[in-house]
Chains A and B, each alone.
Chain A
Amino acid sequence: MEIITSILAGILFATAIYNLLQKQLLRIVIGTALLSHGAHIFILTMGKLKTGQPPILTDGVSDYTDPLPQALILTSIVISFGVTSLLLVLAYRTTKENNTDNMEQLRGKSNE
C-alpha cells in the first residue's frame, strides 16, 4: 500500500507542478493547493501505514500508529490553509489592479 500512496503523492505533485506552470493566476492557486495535498500524503507515507491503534493512549494497548507524521501534517494543513487563502486574495487583488490574470503580462518593467 505504501507504494500506491507514494505513486499518489507523485501524481499529486505532477498535477500541481503542471498547474503551477500555467499562465492563469487561478491555476497557480489550484496548483499550490494540490502541492500541499501531495506533501501531506508524502509525509503520511513516511510513517508506517496501519501498524497499530490511533495514537491516543489507552490502557492495555502498546502498539500505536506513528504520531510524529500526524503532528507534522496537522501543522502543515493549517499553514497551507493560510497560504492558499492568502494567494487567493492576492490573485483577486492583482487581477483587480492590473486588469489581467495572465502571468506573462505581469512581468514588471523591462530592464529592471
Chain B
Amino acid sequence: MIFAVLIPLIIACFIPLLSKLKEKIHTGIFVLFVPLSIFLYFVQFLGRDFNPIRHTYNWIPSLGINFDFYLDGLSLLFALLISGIGALVVLYSIFYLSKQERLGSFYVYLLMFMTAMLGVVLSDNIFVLYTFWELTSISSFLLIGYWHFKERSRYGALKSMLITIFGGLSMFGGFILLWVVTGTTSIQEMINQVDVILDSSYLPLILGFILLGAFTKSAQFPFHIWLPDAMEAPTPVSAYLHSATMVKAGLFLIARFSSIFSGSEWFFIVVSLVGIITLCWGSYMAVRQTDLKAILAFSTISQLGMIMAMLGFGTTAAVFAAIFHILNHATFKGSLFMVAGIIDHETGTRDIRKLGGLITFLPITATLALFGTFSMAAVPLPFLNGFYSKELFFDATLHLDSTTFLAQAIPYLAVFGSIFTFVYSMYFFFGVFTGPKQLDKLPKKPHEAPIGMLLSPIVLVAGVILIGLFPNIVNAPFLLHAAQAVNPEVEFHKVAFWHGFNTPLKMSLIVIAIGIILFVTRKKWSKVYTILPGKLSLNKVYDQIVEKLDVISGAITRSYMTGSLKNYMSIILATTLIVSFVFMFITNGFTLEYDYLADVTILEVSVVIIMIIAAVATIFTNHNIAAILVLGVVGYGVAILFVVYRAPDIALTQFVIETVTVALFLLCFYHLPKLRKSTDSAGTKMTNLFISVGFGALMTMVAISAHSSNWFESISDYFVETSYKLGGGHNIVNVILVDMRGLDTLFEIAVLGIAALAIIGLIKLKKDKGAQ
C-alpha cells in the first residue's frame, strides 16, 4: 500500500525529464498511467466483505511516528475518488493545457498532491496524517499560483495557504493533546479509548482545535473565503482539488473522528450549525456571482456545508446520506467544473453576462451541463443521483437525536438553502445555454470542444446517470462499508426512488416550486444583496488582518533589528542571563561543597587581588598605553597562577603569548584612535553594568556548582595511565595534545594559519579602486 501512496511522488521525480519531450508527446499522457494504476489497485478491494487492512512501515518508532496505512471502507471511498477523479482530470488536462504551458511543473505539483491526499486518507498515524495534510495545502498553493504572472493567482494562492495552514496548525495542536491524553498516535487505538478522551479536561480544546482544522480545509463559514479565490487555478485543478478531493479532507477528518467526538453534545451543535450556515450562505451567495467558476465555488462551499451538517447529525441515516453525497457531489460537480472549463476554453470568457444561447454551438457540452445542474438541483427524476442524496438529507433533518431549538430549525434551514441551490443550478444552465446569443461579446467564435476534452465529463455524467438509475449497485459493496467505518451502527437499507408521498418529497417539491418562482423573478429581488451582505465583507476582514499583521510584525522586527551590534549583544546576553538564572533557580542547580577545596595561601590571594584591580582598571583607563599595561598585568597574573597550580607547560605558553600580544597591541595602538571617555548616558551605563555583573555572577556560580557536584567520573585518570603506554611520552599534557587529540591540534594550527593569512590580507591588500 505504501507503494500506491508514494508512486505519484516517485514518478514526479521523472516528470522534469519527460516534460522535455512535450513537443512530441504531451506530458499528461505519461502521468495518466499513475492515477489509473492506483485506481485499479484499489478497485480490487471493492465489493469484498473485507476487514480493515493495516500495513506498518517504521519511520520514527521511538516517537511512535510510523507509516501506518489503514484501509477501511471510508479510506477506500476516498482513495477511489482521488485516483478515479485524478485519472479523469489528468485526461482532461491533456486537452486543456497547451504545450506552451509549463507542463513539467504542473504535473509535478499535481502528482505531489496525489501522494499527499492519498496519505491523508490512508494514514492511521495522526502525525503522519498531519504531515500529508500540510503537503496538500502546499501543493494546493503551488497549483493555485500556477499562472503566477497573474496578480489574482498569487493573491488566491497566498490566501488559501494562510487559511488552511492556520487551520492545519491548530489541528496539529489538537492532535498533540489527543496524544497526550491517550498516549497513542494511532487513530484506531484512540477510538478504543473514547471514554478516556471524553472524560479528559482537554476535550473542549481538542474538539475546538481539530474542528478548526476541518472547517478551514473544507471551506466552512466563515473560512470559506479562500475557495472562490482559489478558482484562479487552472480548471482541472479546480475540478480536482477544490471540488472533489482536497476540500473534502475536512469532511474526512470529521468522519474519521466522529466515532470519538459524537459522544460530546458540542460536536452535534457546532458541526451541524456551521454546516447548515455554510449550506445556506454558500447557496445564497452563489446566485449573485457572474463568473461561472465562482458560481461553482460557492456551490461547492454550500454542498460541503450540507455534508458537514449531516456528519454533525451523526444519526445512521445522516451518516449514510453524507457518504452517498460525497460520491454524488464528486460526479456532478466534477463534470460541471469541466463544463465550465470547456466554455472558457471555447468562448474565451467565463462571464455569464456575456454568455447565452450556446446550446446550438456546444450541444454535447450543454447536454452534460443539463445532467450536472439538474442533479445538483436535486430535480426528482429517477436518473439523477443528486436527488437521492438530497432526499436522504431531508429525511435525516427530520429525524435528529436532539430536541434542541437548533434541531427543530434545521429542516427549515435545509429547505431554505436548497431553494437557492435550485436557483443557482438553473441560473448556471439557462444563463449559459439558452437565452439571446451575444456572439459579439465573446472573444472567440464558439464551437464544440474536441472529443478528448469531452471524454472526462462524459464519464462523470455517465456516473451520475448510472448511480441515479441503479443506486444500489454502489450501495452494498461500497457506501455501506464507508458509512460503517464512520458509525458502526449503520445497517444496509435499500435506496429507492419512490417512498410514497412523504415529508421529504414534499420538501423537495416546495424547493422546486419556490425555486422556479425565484429563478424567474431573480432580477426583481437581486437588490437584496445590497442589504445582505451589503458592505459586510469577510474578504475585507481577511485583508485587514493580513495587512495589520504585516505592519505589526514589521514594526516589531525593526524595533530590535537596529543594526547596532552592541544592542544585539545586550539582547543575547540578557536573554542568556535570565534563562540561565531562572533555570538554575527552578532546578535548584546551585551547589556548594567545601570538602575538597585547596588551601588558601597569601601568594595566590595577592596575585588574584592584583588581577582584579587590573581587570577593573581596563574599564576606567582612558589612555592607550595604560590600557595595554593593565591588560598585560592580567595576562601575566594568569601565567603566575598557572605556575602555582602545577601547570608548567601552559605557564610557559602564556608568558610567551602574553608578551607577543602586548607587543602587537602596542604596534596597533600606535595607529588606532585614542581611547575616549565613555559618552553613554547613565541609563545605558547601568544596563551595561547590570548585564556584565550579572554575567560574571552567573559564571562564578556555574564554576562553583560544576566544581562542587560530582556527577560523573573524571576521565583524566585514563590519560595518566595510558600516556606512556599508548603515547610513549612522559609529559601527559603533550601526549594529549599531539597524540590523543592530534587531529584537534592539527586543525588548531590550521586556524592559526588562516588567521595569519587574514591578517596579511587585511594589512597588505588595498581596496580595488575600480570596483565598487
Contacts and interface: CB of A to CB of B under 8 A. Distances in A.
Closest 3 A-B residue pairs measured CB to CB? Answer: A14-B696, A10-B700, A107-B563
Contacts of B611: 8, 12
A54 to B, nearest CB: 4
Contacts of A25: 672
A42 B700 CA distance: 8
Given A75-B744, A103-B564, 5 more contacts: A4-B600, A14-B692, A15-B618, A71-B736, A86-B755
Interface size band for A:
35 or more
Contact of B612 (A11, A46, A92): A11
Given A15-B619, A17-B692, A103-B565, A4 B665 contact: no
A21 B664 contact: no
B600 A82 contact: no
Interface in A44-98: 44-58, 64-68, 70-71, 73-75, 77-79, 81-86, 88-93, 95-97
Nearest to B652: A74
B703 A37 contact: no
A84 B759 contact: no
Contacts of B720: 55, 64, 67
B43 interface: no
A33 B600 contact: no
B598 interface: yes
B675 A27 contact: yes
19 contacts: A1-B598, A2-B707, A6-B700, A6-B704, A10-B696, A12-B615, A21-B570, A33-B661, A38-B699, A40-B638, A44-B645, A50-B644, A65-B646, A70-B647, A74-B650, A74-B653, A78-B657, A89-B762, A95-B672
Interface in B619-672: 619, 624, 627, 631, 634-635, 638, 641-642, 644-650, 653-654, 657, 660-661, 664-665, 668-669, 671-672
Interface stretch (B243-251, B273-281, B723-731): B723-731
A6 B707 contact: yes
Choose among A30, A55, A81, A108 the residue with the greatest number of B CB atoms under 10 Å from its CB. Answer: A55
A97 B618 CA distance: 26
Nearest to B689: A18
Contacts of B737: 71, 74-75
Interface in B13-33: none
A63 to B, nearest CB: 10
B401 interface: no
Contacts of B767: 97
Contact of A88 (B598, B664, B698, B716): B664
A25 to B, nearest CB: 7
A41 B638 contact: yes
Contacts of A46: 703, 706-707
A interface: dominant SS: helix
Interface of B: 562-566, 569-570, 573, 596-601, 604-605, 608, 611-612, 615-616, 618-619, 624, 627, 631, 634-635, 638, 641-642, 644-650, 653-654, 657, 660-661, 664-665, 668-669, 671-673, 675-676, 678-680, 688-689, 691-693, 695-701, 703-704, 706-707, 714-716, 719-720, 723-724, 730-733, 736-737, 741, 744-745, 748, 751-752, 755-756, 758-759, 762-763, 767
A57 B730 contact: yes
B716 A66 contact: yes
Contact of B719 (A14, A68, A110): A68
Given A13-B699, A89-B759, A4 B668 contact: no
Contact of B649 (A15, A19, A70): A70
Nearest to A45: B703
A33 B664 CA distance: 13
Nearest to A101: B673
A54 B650 CA distance: 11
Interface of A: 1-27, 30, 33-34, 37-38, 40-42, 44-58, 64-68, 70-71, 73-75, 77-79, 81-86, 88-93, 95-97, 101, 103-104, 106-108, 110, 112
Contacts of A21: 566, 569-570, 688, 691-692
Contacts of A26: 624, 627, 669, 672-673, 675
Given A44-B642, A46-B706, A91-B668, A77 B699 contact: no
Given A11-B696, A12-B634, A18 B650 contact: no
B445 to A, nearest CB: 53
A44 B644 CA distance: 12
A77 B762 CA distance: 23
Contacts of A75: 737, 744-745, 748
Nearest to B638: A37
Given A4-B605, A13-B695, A50-B598, A56 B730 contact: yes
B731 A23 contact: no
B647 A65 contact: yes
Contacts of B644: 50
Contact of B731 (A41, A51, A55, A112): A55
Given A4-B605, A37-B638, A66-B716, A90 B762 contact: yes
A72 B433 CA distance: 86
A35 B737 CA distance: 23
Contacts of A3: 597, 704
A89 to B, nearest CB: 5
B647 A68 contact: no
Contacts of B744: 75
A84 B497 CA distance: 90
B696 A17 contact: yes
Contact of A34 (B569, B631, B649, B668): B631
A66 to B, nearest CB: 5
Contact of B566 (A55, A66, A85, A103): A103
A84 B628 CA distance: 13
Given A6-B707, A23-B566, A81-B660, A33 B752 contact: no
